[in-house]
Chain A
Amino acid sequence: MRTAHVRPARRATAALVALALCLTACLAGMVAPRQASAMDVVRCTGRPNSSDDKTVIQGATQSRITFEATVEEGEGVSVLTLTIPQDTTFETDDLAVTLLSGTDLMTRNEVSYDLEVVGQNLVFNFDEPLAQAGHLNIIVYGVYFPQAGGDMQVEATYRLASGDEHDIEGIPVIPVQGISGTEALSQWLEQQPWVQAWNANRFLHLFFDPTILVTSFPVVLNGFFMSVAIVALSFPLAIPVALVLALMRLSKFVVWRGIATTYVNLMRGTPLFLQIYVAFFGLPLAGIQIPNFPLGVIVMTLNSGAYMCEIFRAGILSISKGQTEAARSLGMNRVQTMVYVILPQMFRIVIPNLTNEFITLYKDTSLLAAVGVMELVMYARTIVASTGSITPYIVAAAFYLVITLPLSKITRHLEESLRGGKKRKRASTAEKGADAQKEAAHA
């Protein structure tokens, strides 16, 4: 029994000692080579090349590898071998090899070298062993990662003037994603003879480049949802605002009238563009912090409210006075008259105008692009700026039309039915009149 107790204890101690030894060895192992080999990796990144997501690197699309490692004073690195991951192609025509020096590492020193390319290995034989402290920065252009993507591990070894070879350890992997469907389609299109013929025409190339059309479509679609979300929130919110403003403008009290009139005149008298600027850069300075999206919705609501107020006011005024008088004579009070008699008739009349306002509001969400709200135009604009093609704007235009064309058709229909309805009424009263005349004639 006793021995049985002692044994596990001993084992535990032994295990602990072993663990401690192991840890020390590990630590020593980690530290020791660092001291001997002073080249440490600073960064190893690939240039994002996806139009869907600015931070995504995808396969089979042009990218660039930036590799940077430290060089110690007097180290004397004579050869550096950079191993590009398997199945990744690259160009060696314009490699950039620079030694960044100085305390802020901003001084660029040209490094002269002989390049040898062995398979995936780029072997830089430096004319002079690198002895100046700084960061060695190598940029490899024209890199195409494998189509399927995966974690790409760049490897690097270097040889000192003394002939010692060392690996540079801990180089971060470059996460590469498989090529997206649209990107693959775009590349396929680029190879097609008809696309090449199409793009040979300057106008078609600039405005309707099929390769950019397919890649920008899913990106701009994100903006479409954003724009629709903004308008879907701000339009219904603007209706009560506008209604209150309209009633204030029609109020008997000067103060209400004054407030509403000033507000409406201010909002309608200044460009929405400026109102957006004031809201986005002014309010935070006044200590009011609201995130981009709700702030955008609020500005659009307040602006649209002023325009809708005028629609409602005109609508209310267009209801004949007889309606009010009739309602009042039935014993309804002011509020009841407004709620049960005037407003229901007013809404019917203003629906076409409201639809127009909806269209205007939807298009005006594009102004939010100026303050960094990622809506339709902003997404398109980003691609335009980086590709230099107008095509994404055309895609954006299509997304506006998807909403505005059906809506204007509905507006026309509503307007016609409204006018038609009145005509029919008139026609029926005329018929009745005619009937009465006939009856009178008979008699």
Chain B
Amino acid sequence: MAYVSRRALCTTGATAALACVLGLAGCNGGNASGTDAASGSSAGSAASASGDVTTMTSGTLTFATSPDYPPFENLENGEYVGLDMDLGRAIAEELGLECEYTNIDFDGIVPAIVAGGQADAGLSGISITPEREEQVDFSDPYYVDNQAVAVMSSNADITEDNATDALNQEGVKIAVQSGSTGEAFAAENFPNAELVSFPNFTDAFAAVNSGQAVAVCGNSAVVQQMLSGAYTDLHTVYTSATGEEYAIAVSKDNPELLAAINEAIATLQEDGTLDELIAKNMG
């Protein structure tokens, strides 16, 4: 009856992700003894063009990404654009592979890489943290980012001069993306404030715009991008050079791929391609 249709409608990102990985688990159930990350669907995986790199689908390098994070990754007219997306294509080209992107919620990317079968690597503005390093291997960093806090321009209480103290007050609500380094940064530096977590970073900005939170804290490049685009009523009041490093997450079972990606990043760094891509995307 009515309930059936409703249940079908009400799938959240979370449940979808869970279902997704459950499906995956079914896939990998056969090799529960844990032999190879790229087994299951890829029984016929073969060495790629570059010789010793094993990927899910032969000849294709699949990245998991959550395209809600401009200027690193987002969808424009169905096209994956942004620094990470350009970098992924450049790396695949270096390795002589086809580049493919698969859309997974940010908090599902690391689990998906661990489980295997969904993607070869995670490329989604992922900062290196000790917790994540327990689950996956990280490539060499390709971008260094900082933290920024933005508030409504009309907010006279929190300004650039007093932000450090004014943000660290009881009753100040700071919107963050759940599980992000911005959340960890706000918790470390503004322990008195109340954190409001959103699964999607864009919603954290919407929350400030609509008054659900006073400030938004997150990676500087993304905050700048959002402020110059959709959220012009906000302005940055606080920045901190945390120097967190973005890297590509690769399964611990695929060191060959990690080495190949590192090599490609080194080449792109040397020949200036990476700097070009950064300049192009960060404007």
Contact = CB atoms under 8 A, between A and B. Distances in A.
B111 A206 contact: yes
B18 A390 contact: yes
Contacts of A203: 25, 28-29, 32, 34
Given A367-B12, A372-B212, A360 B111 contact: no
B206 interface: yes
B273 interface: no
A381 B199 contact: yes
B6 A201 contact: no
Given A46-B188, A47-B188, A372-B198, A98 B241 contact: yes
A104 B110 CA distance: 34
Looking at chain A, what size class is its interface with the partner chain? 35 or more
Interface in B117-153: 129-132, 134-136, 144, 146
B211 A284 contact: yes
Nearest to B37: A202
A387 interface: yes
A370 B199 contact: yes
Given A284-B211, A385-B178, A364 B10 contact: yes
B200 interface: yes
B203 to A, nearest CB: 7
B46 to A, nearest CB: 22
A409 interface: no
B239 interface: yes
B161 to A, nearest CB: 13
B179 interface: yes
A378 B3 contact: no
Interface in A187-201: 200-201
Interface string B192-219: 0001111110010011011111000000
Contacts of A137: 241, 243
A388 B114 contact: yes
Interface in A272-324: 272-273, 280-282, 284-285, 289, 292, 307, 310-311
Interface string A34-55: 0000000001011110000011
B279 interface: no
Contacts, number: 175
Given A108-B241, A285-B210, A382 B179 contact: yes
A268 interface: yes
Interface string B13-38: 11100100100010011001110000
Interface in B92-116: 106-108, 110-111, 114-116
A243 to B, nearest CB: 17
A388 B2 contact: no
Interface string A357-380: 100100110110111101001101
A113 interface: no
B14 A377 contact: yes
Given A62-B130, A203-B32, A310 B188 contact: no
Contact of A206 (B115, B131, B198): B115
25 contacts: A48-B184, A54-B183, A54-B187, A62-B130, A137-B241, A137-B243, A281-B206, A285-B210, A289-B211, A311-B2, A360-B3, A360-B7, A369-B12, A369-B14, A369-B199, A370-B12, A372-B207, A377-B14, A381-B107, A381-B178, A384-B107, A385-B179, A388-B114, A388-B136, A393-B18
The 6 closest A-B pairs by CB, nearest first: A385-B179, A388-B110, A385-B107, A284-B210, A388-B135, A55-B191
